[in-house]
C-alpha cells in the first residue's frame, strides 16, 4: 500500500493513488488531481536520523574513509518538506548538492532491537533528498549541522510505501536527475551497513518512535545544483520525489 499526505480543498488529507494516473483518492473516496494538491511529508516524524558515508564509493569520491562506526546526524524539523515544494538555495554559498537516499520509516516504539528482529519494526519506506552545503563540510564543522540543517534541506516523499510492498529493500536502484539529466545512480545492496544493523545500533542508545525516519546514505554521483534547477529522485518501487531549487529572497 502507498499513501501520501497532502492539502486539498483547504484541509489535510491522507490518500492513495487511484487507478487513473495522476489522481489521488482521499480518506472519503473523493478524487483529487495530483497536480492540484500540496504534498506534505508522507509521515509526521518525531526524529529524522541520517547516516553519513554508508556507501564506500561515495566516501571515495570525496577522498574520505568510511567511518569505523555509523556516523549519525539529525535533519531537524525545519528541513522537512514534501514533494514539489521548493528547496531554498542559501545566500552566499558556492556548492549545494542533492543526495538520493532510501528512507526507512519506523512502525512502533522500540528500544534495543536486535538486528535479527529489526525489520519487524519497519512500517515502510519513502525517498529522501539529504541536501548539503558542501562549503561547510569539514572536520571543523562536524557534526554537520550547518551543512545539512538549512531550511527545506530534507524533502521526503511523495509516498509512504508499506514494508510488505518492498520485500527486499537492499535490492533497489536509486537515481537522481537534475533538469532531466541522470546525475547519480546506485544500488541499496552496496550499503556498508544494512538496515537491520542500523536499527540495532540506533535503538541501542535511543528509543525509536512510530514514524521516525532513518536515512540510509547515498551512493556516489553528487554534483552541484543552482536556483532554477529541478531535482527528480527515484527509487525502484517508491515513485519519484521532485523539488525545484529557488533563490532565497527573504
The residues with which 3 forms a beta bridge, in sequence order, are 160
What cell was used for 89? 538555495
Question: What's the CATH code, domain 1-39?
Answer: 2.30.30.370
**pLDDT on residue 139:** 62
pLDDT in tens, 187-235: 999 999 999 999 999 999 999 999 999 999 999 999 999 999 999 999 9
C-alpha cell at 103: 528512507
In eight-state DSSP terms, residue 76 is -
Q: Which of 162, 165, 144, 168 is nearest to 154 (CA)?
A: 144
C-alpha cell at 235: 527509487
C-alpha dist (Å) from residue 29 to 10, 21, 24 = 17, 16, 9
Domain boundaries, the chain: 1-39, 41-247
**What DSSP line would sit under 153-219, residue for residue?**
-EEEEEEEEEGGG-S-TTS-EEEEEETTEEEEEEEGGGBSS-HHHHHHHHHTTS-B-TT-EEE----
Output the pLDDT for position 162.
98
pTM of the predicted protein model: 0.96
> What tens digit of pLDDT does each residue of 46-61 get?
999 999 999 988 877 8
Decide yes or no: CATH 3.30.1490.20 for domain 41-247. no
Q: What is the DSSP letter of 61?
A: H
Amino acid at each position: 500500500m502507498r499513501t501520501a499526505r497532502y492539502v486539498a480543498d483547504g484541509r489535510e488529507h491522507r490518500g492513495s493513488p487511484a487507478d487513473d494516473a495522476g489522481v489521488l483518492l482521499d480518506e472519503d473516496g473523493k478524487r483529487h488531481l495530483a497536480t492540484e494538491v500540496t504534498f506534505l511529508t508522507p509521515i509526521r516524524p518525531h526524529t529524522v536520523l541520517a547516516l553519513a558515508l554508508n556507501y564506500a564509493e561515495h566516501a571515495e569520491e570525496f577522498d574520505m574513509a568510511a567511518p569505523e562506526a555509523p556516523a549519525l546526524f539529525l535533519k531537524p524539523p525545519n528541513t522537512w518538506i514534501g514533494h514539489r515544494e521548493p528547496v531554498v538555495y542559501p545566500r552566499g554559498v558556492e556548492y549545494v548538492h542533492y543526495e538520493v537516499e532510501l528512507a526507512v520509516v519506523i512502525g512502533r516504539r522500540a528500544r534495543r532491537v536486535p538486528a535479527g528482529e529489526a525489520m519487524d519494526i519497519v512500517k515502510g519506506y519513502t525517498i529522501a533528498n539529504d541536501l548539503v552545503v558542501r562549503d561547510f563540510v569539514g572536520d571543523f564543522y562536524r557534526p554537520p549541522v550547518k551543512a545539512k540543517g538549512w531550511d527545506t534541506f530534507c524533502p521526503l516523499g511523495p509516498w509512504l510505501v508499506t514494508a510488505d510492498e518492498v520485500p527486499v529493500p537492499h535490492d533497489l536502484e536509486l537515481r537522481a536527475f537534475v533538469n532531466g539529466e541522470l546525475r547519480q545512480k546506485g544500488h541499496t545492496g552496496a550499503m556498508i551497513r544494512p538496515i537491520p544493523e542500523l536499527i540495532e545500533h540506533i535503538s541501542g542508545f535511543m528509543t525509536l518512535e512510530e514514524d521516525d525516519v532513518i536515512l540510509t546514505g547515498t551512493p556516489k554521483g553528487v554534483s552541484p545544483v543552482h536556483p532554477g534547477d529541478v531535482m527528480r529522485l527515484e527509487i525502484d518501487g517508491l515513485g519519484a520525489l521532485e523539488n525545484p531549487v529557488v533563490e532565497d529572497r527573504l
